[in-house]
């Protein structure tokens, strides 16, 4: 914390650095020097890995939160200086450079709030508000980091200038939206059950509202005036599809009911995108694969809702010989609870297979988002000019999707096994059985029709190993 004055002293003069507005072709096409490569690698590590981990550790009140975030702050300022000290290739003024300066605000806000909270003063007045603000700003870090890294890649390649800005906005915003959708879905299926139960709303109720509101925005922003092109008509009617289907989804999802409408809209959107005509063959192939990935995501979501077993076996009811209660997976004798290794786990059978299947929709949404973000005209023209075929390019995007989804699961696992949650975890626990923790088995899983009240059948005795005889 004593490094704050030094950091400010370094940051202020560097923030005054201006990019060149009048650059020659030689400057913009010069080789990239090692300093710039270090800047990109360092900032990607800090904002893509270190800060998200620090955010999670802060949520679990881990003692490693402050050291990790402090390290991130120092490395961020070092990377910022490197970004303004490199030689070789130069870049015109960009959103990346502007946001880099703006990011000083949340960084310094977190530092000041962190110091204030460590003082433990104004416990009954200002401190509760400072805690909330600290949490809000901290949770914004992954989003800010994602946007800044995206701006950095765009600036590095010189994309999204002139007449390409609208296409960039469409691809990068919608692609990021699908990735965020997948992240939220993964969080809900692994550790979000209690929150879903407290809200008294089914997951599809929230999905449908987002789809409805986003559809309204798309309906009135896709056509910019003048004559209507085929793409304008397609994009606008997709906006209508989203708000019309979203409204139906909201209606069907009321009173904690599940609904297949969000999955159906995702599948229809994928079909429309798979038929989107493109100038280059590689662009047509990538868009088609994106569309079919989205179709598969929608269909797998529908299967998860309609056909994957959504009832869990209850030890209390099992002990009474009740194999047909509302909490029992009928006909699955292997679906019994076993207390071993410090947590309850179920045997093999449809429920266990269903738990594995539930990673399918969020992973496909993350993949679809990356494919759509990688399908702008400028990107695919570059790939085409370098002689790469669509198969190689698509497999590269799927590889990135595996890496990104693994990182998402790691952060969720870190949340469940660190800080105040560490006492409930064991060395044997994995991401696949986080939802089997004792505190989470006193009711249906989040994907079941969510109850308005608590489940009446207690199983505390079974958790602590007490007998009923």
The confidence score (pLDDT) of residue 86 equals 82
pLDDT number for residue 162? 79
Q: For residues 214 and 412, is the Cβ–Cβ distance under 8 A? A: no
Terminal Cα distance for the chain, rounded: 58
Instruction: List residues bridging with 345 in a β-sheet.
Output: 338
d(CA 262, CA 210): 10
What pLDDT is attached to residue 26?
64
Give the per-residue pLDDT at 231: 75
Q: What is the mean pLDDT of each run of 10 residues along the chain (469 residues)?
A: 41 44 68 89 95 94 93 92 84 88 93 92 92 94 95 91 83 91 87 78 88 88 76 85 95 90 94 81 91 95 80 41 35 38 44 77 96 92 91 96 96 91 58 42 43 40 40
Q: Distance between alpha carbon 201 and the CA centroid of its chain, in Å? A: 21
Tokens of 262: 């969000």
At residue 39, the pLDDT reads: 92
Q: How far apart are the C-alpha atoms of 146 and 275, rounded to whole Å?
A: 29
**pLDDT of res. 218:** 83
Contact 270, 368 (CB under 8 A): yes
> How many C-beta atoms lie closer than 10 Å to residue 313's C-beta?
23
pLDDT number for residue 355: 74
Contact call for residues 344 and 441 (beta carbons, < 8 A) = yes
Rounded-to-integer distance, Cα 262 and Cα 273, Å: 17
Distance CA 294, CA 263 (A): 10
Check residue 352 and give its pLDDT: 67
Query: How confident is the model at residue 288, as a pLDDT?
Result: 93
Question: Of the candidates 353, 337, 350, which has an alpha carbon nearest to the alpha carbon of residue 440?
Answer: 337
Query: Of 395, 396, 408, 444, nearest to 181 (Cα)?
Result: 408
Residue found under tokens 């507005």: 21
What is the rounded CA–CA span in Å between residue 357 and residue 337? 20
**Chain centroid to CA 120:** 33
Residue 227 has which token pair?
């004559």
Domain ranges of the chain: 1-158, 163-308+358-436
Whether residue 207 contacts residue 249, with contact meaning beta carbons closer than 8 Å, is answered with yes
Strands 343-346 and 337-340: antiparallel
Q: CA 445, CA 442: separation in Å to the nearest integer? A: 9
Please enumerate in sequence order all residues whose Cβ is within 8 A of that of 17, keeping only pairs 6 or more positions apart, or say none. 84
Residue 246: predicted pLDDT: 95
Helix (H) / strand (E) element for 345: namely strand 343-346
Residue position matching structure tokens 């995108």 = 273
């Amino acid at each position: 914390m004593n490094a704050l004055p030094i950091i400010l002293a370094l940051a202020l003069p560097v923030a005054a650095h201006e990019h060149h507005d009048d650059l020659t072709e030689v400057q913009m096409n010069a080789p990239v020097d090692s300093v710039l490569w270090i800047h990109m690698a360092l900032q990607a590590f800090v904002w893509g890995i270190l800060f998200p981990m620090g955010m999670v550790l802060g949520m679990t009140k881990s003692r490693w939160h402050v050291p990790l975030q402090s390290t991130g702050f120092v490395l961020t300022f070092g990377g910022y200086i490197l970004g303004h000290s490199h030689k070789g290739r130069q870049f015109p003024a960009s959103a990346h450079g502007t946001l880099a300066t703006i990011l000083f605000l949340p960084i310094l806000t977190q530092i000041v709030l962190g110091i204030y909270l460590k003082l433990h003063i104004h416990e009954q007045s200002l401190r509760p508000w400072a805690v909330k603000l600290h949490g809000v700003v901290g949770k914004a870090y992954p989003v800010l980091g994602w946007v800044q890294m995206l701006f950095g890649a765009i600036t590095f390649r010189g994309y999204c200038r002139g007449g390409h800005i609208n296409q960039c906005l469409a691809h990068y915003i919608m692609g990021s939206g699908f990735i965020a959708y997948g992240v939220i879905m993964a969080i809900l299926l692994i550790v979000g059950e209690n929150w879903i139960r407290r809200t008294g709303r089914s997951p599809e109720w929230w999905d449908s509202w987002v789809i409805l509101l986003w559809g309204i925005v798309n309906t009135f922003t896709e056509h910019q005036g003048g004559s209507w092109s085929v793409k304008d008509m397609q994009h606008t009617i997709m906006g209508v599809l989203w708000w019309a289907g979203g409204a139906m989804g909201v209606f069907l999802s009321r009173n904690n009911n599940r609904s297949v409408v969000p999955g159906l809209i995702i599948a229809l959107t994928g079909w429309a995108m798979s038929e989107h005509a493109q100038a280059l063959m590689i662009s047509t192939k990538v868009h088609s694969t994106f569309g079919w990935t989205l179709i598969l995501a929608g269909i797998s979501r529908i299967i998860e809702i309609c056909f994957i077993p959504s009832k869990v076996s209850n030890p209390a009811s099992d002990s009474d010989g009740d194999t047909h209660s509302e909490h029992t997976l009928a006909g699955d004798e292997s679906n019994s609870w076993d207390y071993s290794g410090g947590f309850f786990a179920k045997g093999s059978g449809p429920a266990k297979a269903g738990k594995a299947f539930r990673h399918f929709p969020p992973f496909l949404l993350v993949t679809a988002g990356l494919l759509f973000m990688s399908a702008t005209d400028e990107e695919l023209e570059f790939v085409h000019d370098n002689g790469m075929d669509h198969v190689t390019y698509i497999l590269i995007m799927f590889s990135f999707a595996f890496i990104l989804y693994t990182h998402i699961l790691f952060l969720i696992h870190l949340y469940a096994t660190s800080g105040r949650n560490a006492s409930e975890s064991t060395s044997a626990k994995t991401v696949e059985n986080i939802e089997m923790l004792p505190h989470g088995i006193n009711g249906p899983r989040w994907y079941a029709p969510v109850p308005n009240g608590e489940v009446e059948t207690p199983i505390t005795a079974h958790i602590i190993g007490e007998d009923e005889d």
